[in-house]
């Protein structure tokens, strides 16, 4: 039970915080702030600002993403918002609109 999982039919309206990885298969509106990784799976939808160690986007994200290590927008991922992280990957096929800031120490 190491991962927090938001299942595909679940909608969370508010804030998720903690220090374990979060896997989103459903919908989160609001904010996610964790010290571990955040995974937005293909069916996952975020209308939220995200803070995490690393953030992997295979679903749809609307909001700003800040990651201490890296952000990956996969081929199936769609994202609108600003990304701030020292390492950012955008795969071929991904949709992205927003600002990228890699000028982050650490």
**Positions that interact with another protein (CB under 8 A):** 1-20, 22, 26, 30, 34
Q: What is the rounded CA–CA span in Å between residue 93 and residue 38? A: 21
Query: Closest separation between CB of residue 61 and another protein, Å?
Result: 18
Query: Closest separation between CB of residue 6 and another protein, Å?
Result: 6
Measured from the CB atom, the residue of 40 and 73 that comes closer to another protein is: 40
For residue 29, CA distances in Å to 22, 63, 84 come to 14, 10, 20
Measured from the CB atom, the residue of 10 and 95 that comes closer to another protein is: 10
| Residue 30, CB-side half-sphere exposure with 13 Å CA sphere | 11
Measured from the CB atom, the residue of 40 and 88 that comes closer to another protein is: 40
């Amino acid at each position: 039970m190491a991962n927090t999982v938001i299942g595909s039919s679940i909608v969370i309206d508010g804030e998720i915080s903690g220090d374990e990885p979060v896997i989103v298969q459903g919908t989160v509106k609001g904010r996610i702030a964790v010290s571990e990784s955040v995974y937005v799976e293909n069916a996952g939808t975020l209308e939220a600002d995200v803070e995490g160690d690393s953030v992997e986007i295979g679903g749809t994200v609307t909001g700003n993403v800040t990651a201490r290590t890296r952000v990956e927008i996969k081929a199936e991922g769609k994202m609108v918002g600003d990304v701030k992280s020292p390492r950012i990957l955008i795969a071929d096929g991904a949709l992205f609109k927003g600002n990228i800031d890699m000028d982050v120490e650490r």
